[in-house]
C-alpha cells in the first residue's frame, strides 16, 4: 500500500465517483469552539464512501475478471457500493446477505442490478456459501476493507481533503474519521502522510465498540467483546484488518469514542445547519468534533461524514430528541 | 440585465459562494421515468440560493455604501443570506422582520451578526420603518428579487448548471426552478439563453399560488388571491417582479403547479435517495420532475432545489407520511 496506488485509484475514479464538497457553517463552528470542515460522503453515489473503494477495486480488475463478475458479503453500504460499481463496469455482482437483513436494503441492492443470495445466519455459513459460489462461477471477492485497492479508493477522500482544505484556508491537525474495519481511516492516513504530513487521521468509534482505539493504544489488534447494541451498525466490525491496522498504527493519532446519543445529536446538527442526512455511524466523526473538542489538536478540525443510509424512523428519533437544540 | 452582469457576479462570488454539485440517483430516475439532475442549493451557505444574490449585491456596492451598511425585509432565507454576506463584507445589516416570525429564524439572523428590527404586522408599516431607518443611517436596501445584482447572483446557478450538465452528459431541455418572485428563475433563464439556448427555465409553483404560471399564460402580471395556506412559505409572493416578469415572459417555458403533498413526498425522496434536506418550497421543482413528467420536455431533466431551511416538525411530517415509499 502506498500513495501511488491512491493516486492511481483517483485517476480511475475521476468522473465516476462524486467529488464531494467540504462544508462549513458558522453555527457548527460555534458548537465546536473551532472551525469545522465536513467532508460529506453521504452525498457520494449510493449514499456512502463505499462506492469509491468498490469502483477502485472493480476498475483494477482485468477484462476477464470483470467478465466473470464479483462477489461481496454485506448487508449494508458495501453491498450497494459494489452493486453500482459492478453495474457501471458491466460486471455481474453477487451479494451474499443474511435473510433477516432489512427488506429495504435487500431491495435497494437488487434494484442496483445485483443478484442477492440470502443465507440463514443461524444454520448456514456465509463464507462457505461465498467460497462455493466464487469457485463455481470464477467470481472475484471484493472485501469490504482489508483489500489494497479498496483502501486506495477510500484514500482518494484524503487527497480531496488536502486540496479542499488548502483552498478554504483550513489550518487543521486532526482529520476525524468514522472507523469500522479501518479501510477509510487507513486510506486517508496514507494520503495525509504523503500530501499533508502536518495532518493526521483520528479514528472515531462508538463507546463499547472501540476495537481500533484499544488496538492503537496497545499496539496490538484487539477485538470487540460484542457486535450488536449500537445504532452505529455501519461501523461495527469484530476487529481492525490485518492490512489496515499496521497502517493506522504507524500513522494515526489516538482514537476517540462517542456515545450513540451524541451521534443522534450530531445528526440533528447536520440536518439543521448543513442540510445533509447522516446515518448514526456516519455522524460519529462530526459528533467528536462537536462534543469532544478537548481531545482534538489544532486550530481547525476536519471531519468525514461517511454515509447517510439511515431509516426514516431513526432519523425521526434524532429530530424528535435533538431537533430543537441544534 | 444581461449575461455580462451574471458573469461579473460569478467572478465576484467565486471562492465565497459554494459551487454546489449536480446530484443524481438511479432510484430518483426510476420514479421520474427519465434521468434527473438536481442542483442542491440547500447546500449553499445559509441553506439556500439567497446567499448568492446577497453576495452579488453587496460586492457590487462602492466602499462608502458598504461602510454605511444595508437593510432588507425578510423573515426567511433572504434575511440569512443578506446577514452572512454583509458580515463577510464587513458591512452592518439591518433586517426588518415581523415580531411573530419564528423565534429560531430571528435567532439565526442575529447569530449571523445582523441587527434585527421587529415590527407589529397588525399596527405598523414595514416599508415606512424601513424607509425611515434607511434615510437616518444611509443604508442601502437589498431587495429580495426585483434587483439586477440579485438576479445576476442567482443567475450564477444557471452558469454552473450549463457546465455541470455538459460534464455529466445530461441531455435536458427543461430546467425546473422553484419560483417565488422570479429572481432565481429569471437569472437562470438569462444564463441559459446565453450559454445553452437549447435549454429553458420552467417555473414551478404551489397549487393556488400560481401567479407566475398565470402571468406567463396571459402575458400580463397576475396576482395571487391569497398569501397564506401553503407549506411552501419560502416561495409565496404577491406577484412576479417588474424586472423579473419581462425576462421570464421572454424566455421561460410554461409554469408547472404542484401540491403541498407532492412537495412532502419529494422531500422524503431527497432524504432517502440523495441524502439532502429540502424545505417544501425547495423541493417543489424536484416534485415536478418526479410526479409531473408528462408536462416536461426532453430526454433528461434538471431541477433546482432552492433551499433546506425547514423545521424539524415539518421534516418529520414528510418522513412519517412518505418515508417508506421513497
3-state secondary structure B216-234: HHHCCCCCCCCCCCCCCHH
Domain boundary pick from B141, B176, B191: B141
Residues B211 and B279 both lie in one domain: yes
Helices (H) and strands (E) in chain A, counts: 14, 9
Residues of chain A found within 8 Å of residue B84, distances taken between Cβ atoms: 26
pLDDT number for residue B91:
97
**Rounded CA separation A91/A67 (Å):** 6
**pLDDT more than 70, % of chain B:** 100
Residues B110 and B159 both lie in one domain: no
Residues A171 and A118 both lie in one domain: no
Q: Do B315 and A319 touch (CB under 8 A)?
A: yes
Residues A17 and A134 both lie in one domain: no
Residues B212 and B117 both lie in one domain: no
Residues A60 and A35 both lie in one domain: no
CA atoms within 13 A on the CB side of B200: 15
Residues B83 and B98 both lie in one domain: yes
pLDDT number for residue B100:
85
Q: What share of chain A is helix, strand, coil (3-state, %, to 5)?
A: 50, 15, 35
Distance from CA of B312 to the nearest CA of A (A): 6
**Which pLDDT band, with edges at 50, 70 and 90, does B252 fall under?**
very high
Q: CATH number for the domain including A172? A: 3.40.50.1100
User: pLDDT tens digit string along B267-303?
Assistant: 999 999 999 999 999 999 999 999 999 999 999 999 9
**Which pLDDT band, with edges at 50, 70 and 90, does B190 fall under?**
very high
Size of interface A-B (CB pairs under 8 A): 84
pLDDT number for residue B282:
97
Which cell is A155 given?
Answer: 484514500
For chain B, the residue count is: 326
Residues B93 and B125 both lie in one domain: yes
Distance of CA B317 to the CA centre of its chain: 23
> Taking a C-beta distance cutoff of 8 angstroms, is the pair B22, B168 a contact?
yes
Burial A152-187 (b: 16+ CB within 10 A, else e): bbbbbbbbbbbebbeeeebebbbbbbbbbbbbbbbb
Distance from CA of B218 to the nearest CA of A (A): 37
Which residues in chain A come in under a pLDDT of 50? none
**Rounded CA separation A17/A52 (Å):** 6
Residues B184 and B318 both lie in one domain: yes
Residues B133 and B216 both lie in one domain: no
Q: What is the dihedral of CA A150, A152, A156, A157, to 10 degrees?
A: 60
Domain holding A178, by residue range, is 3-49+147-322
**Strand bridging mode A172-178 / A300-305:** parallel
- Among B143, B141, B145, B114, residue whose Cα is nearest residue B130: B141
Considering only the beta carbons, identify the residue of B111, B277, B316 that sits closest to A320. Answer: B316
**Rounded CA separation A97/A95 (Å):** 6
**Best mutation target, B109, B275, B282, B309, to test chain A (most A CBs within 10 A):** B275
Domain boundary pick from A86, A116, A141: A141
Residue A23: strand pairing partners: A38
Tally of domains within chain A: 2
Is the torsion defined by CA of B293, B299, B300, B302 positive or negative?
A: negative
Chain B nearest-CA residue for A109: B27
The predicted model gives B224-244 an average pLDDT of 92
Q: Do A271 and B313 touch (CB under 8 A)?
A: no
Q: Do B319 and A316 touch (CB under 8 A)?
A: yes
**Best mutation target, A38, A275, A283, A305, to test chain B (most B CBs within 10 A):** A275
**Which pLDDT band, with edges at 50, 70 and 90, does B227 fall under?**
confident
User: pLDDT tens digit string along A176-202?
Assistant: 999 999 999 999 999 999 999 999 999
Residue A174: strand pairing partners: A200
Domain boundary pick from B116, B141, B166: B141
Residues of chain B found within 8 Å of residue A22, distances taken between Cβ atoms: none
**Which pLDDT band, with edges at 50, 70 and 90, does B121 fall under?**
confident
Residues A76 and A216 both lie in one domain: no
Residues of chain B found within 8 Å of residue A26, distances taken between Cβ atoms: 84, 111-112
Q: Is B280 helix (H, G, I), strand (E, B) or coil?
A: coil
Q: Is B196 helix (H, G, I), strand (E, B) or coil?
A: coil
Residues B15 and B157 both lie in one domain: yes
The yes-or-no verdict on residue B122 having pLDDT over 90 is no
Amino acid at each position: 500500500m502506498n500513495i501511488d496506488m491512491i493516486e492511481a485509484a483517483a485517476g480511475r475514479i475521476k468522473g465516476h465517483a462524486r467529488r464531494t464538497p467540504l462544508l462549513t457553517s458558522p453555527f457548527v463552528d460555534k458548537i465546536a469552539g473551532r472551525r469545522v470542515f465536513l467532508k460529506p460522503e453521504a452525498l457520494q453515489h449510493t449514499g456512502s464512501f463505499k462506492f469509491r473503494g468498490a469502483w477502485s477495486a472493480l476498475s483494477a480488475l482485468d477484462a476477464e475478471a470483470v467478465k466473470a463478475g464479483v462477489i461481496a458479503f454485506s448487508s449494508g453500504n458495501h453491498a450497494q457500493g459494489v452493486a453500482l460499481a459492478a453495474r457501471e463496469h458491466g460486471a455481474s455482482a453477487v451479494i451474499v446477505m443474511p435473510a433477516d437483513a432489512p427488506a429495504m436494503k435487500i431491495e435497494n441492492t437488487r434494484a442496483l442490478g445485483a443478484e442477492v443470495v440470502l443465507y440463514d445466519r443461524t444454520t448456514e455459513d456465509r463464507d462457505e456459501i461465498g467460497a462455493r459460489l466464487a469457485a463455481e462461477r470464477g467470481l472475484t471477492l471484493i472485501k469490504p476493507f482489508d483489500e489494497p485497492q479498496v483502501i486506495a479508493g477510500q484514500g482518494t477522500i484524503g487527497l480531496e481533503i488536502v486540496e479542499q482544505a488548502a483552498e478554504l484556508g483550513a489550518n487543521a491537525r486532526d482529520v476525524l474519521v468514522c472507523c469500522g474495519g479501518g479501510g477509510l481511516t487507513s486510506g486517508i492516513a496514507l494520503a495525509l502522510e504523503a500530501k499533508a504530513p502536518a495532518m493526521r487521521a483520528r479514528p472515531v468509534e462508538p463507546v463499547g465498540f472501540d476495537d481500533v482505539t484499544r488496538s492503537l493504544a496497545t499496539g496490538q489488534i484487539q477485538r470487540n467483546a460484542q457486535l450488536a447494541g449500537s445504532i452505529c451498525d455501519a461501523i461495527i466490525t469484530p476487529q481492525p484488518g490485518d492490512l489496515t491496522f499496521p497502517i493506522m498504527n504507524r500513522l494515526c493519532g489516538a482514537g476517540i469514542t462517542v456515545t450513540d446519543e451524541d451521534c443522534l445529536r450530531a445528526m440533528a446538527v447536520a440536518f439543521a445547519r448543513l442540510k445533509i442526512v447522516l446515518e448514526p455511524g456516519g455522524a460519529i466523526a462530526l459528533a467528536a468534533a462537536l462534543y469532544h473538542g478537548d481531545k482534538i489538536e489544532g486550530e481547525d478540525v476536519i471531519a468525514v461524514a461517511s454515509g447517510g443510509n439511515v431509516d426514516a424512523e431513526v432519523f425521526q428519533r434524532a429530530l424528535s430528541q435533538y431537533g430543537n437544540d441544534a
